[in-house]
């Protein structure tokens, strides 16, 4: 059995996988997390000049969300993790996917007569316009504000991946 932290993290990644499957995207996972990327999402569709548009994501889960003025105030990224998402100098666009989950794991999913309910919601944030930290320290946290309007859905994942075509 997974410990609580592993269980929550696995659920977060699987939450994204379910949405990607519903969106018709292929999910990739590096064999080790050496670059701050948990999942890649790729479309097998493409326009004439770009095939297999791809985005990458760092997936974080959170069972005690803090919301104010239309933003989730997330303080779970260390400075190294922040730098693996911040700035424009990545060949593949990167996002933070923040999955809010119940505090109790038995509430992560429920079977209903017409389907399965996954709790709670996922959100996304691009840090492309943020300045990376000059001397990042893994022991220091870097807060980010995620708009609550940035809900992660199958349609959102398709749009984020298709936006990569226009980059």
48 is a domain residue: yes
C-alpha angle 42/48/54, rounded to 5°? Answer: 15
Tell whether 101 is covered by a domain.
yes
Domain assignment of residue 86, yes or no:
no
Residue 13 falls inside a structural domain:
yes
Query: Could you tell me which of 30, 59, 23 has the C-alpha nearest to residue 44?
Result: 23
pTM of the predicted structure, to 2 decimals: 0.95
For residue 106, give its domain range.
4-64+91-127+149-166
Using the 8-state DSSP alphabet, how is residue 144 labeled?
Answer: E
Q: Residue 59 sits in a domain of what CATH number?
A: 3.40.1350
What is the count of structural domains for the chain?
1
pLDDT in tens, the chain (167 residues): 899 999 999 999 999 999 999 999 999 999 988 999 999 999 987 665 678 899 999 999 999 999 999 999 999 999 999 999 999 999 999 999 999 999 999 999 999 999 999 999 999 999 999 999 999 999 999 999 999 999 999 999 999 998 755 65
């Amino acid at each position: 059995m997974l410990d609580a932290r592993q269980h929550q993290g696995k659920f977060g990644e699987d939450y994204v996988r379910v949405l990607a499957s519903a969106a018709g995207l292929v999910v990739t996972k590096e064999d080790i997390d050496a670059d701050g990327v948990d999942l890649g999402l790729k479309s097998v569709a493409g326009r004439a000049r770009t095939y297999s548009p791809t985005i990458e994501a760092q997936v974080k889960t959170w069972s005690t969300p803090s919301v104010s003025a239309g933003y989730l105030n997330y303080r779970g990224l260390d400075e190294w993790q922040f730098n693996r998402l911040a700035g424009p100098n990545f060949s593949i666009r990167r996002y933070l996917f923040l999955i809010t989950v119940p505090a109790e794991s038995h509430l992560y999913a429920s079977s209903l007569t017409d389907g399965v309910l996954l709790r709670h919601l996922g959100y996304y944030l691009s840090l492309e316009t943020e300045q990376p930290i000059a001397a990042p320290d893994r022991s220091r946290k870097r807060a980010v504000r995620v708009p609550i309007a940035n809900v992660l859905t199958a349609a959102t994942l398709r749009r984020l991946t298709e936006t990569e075509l226009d980059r």
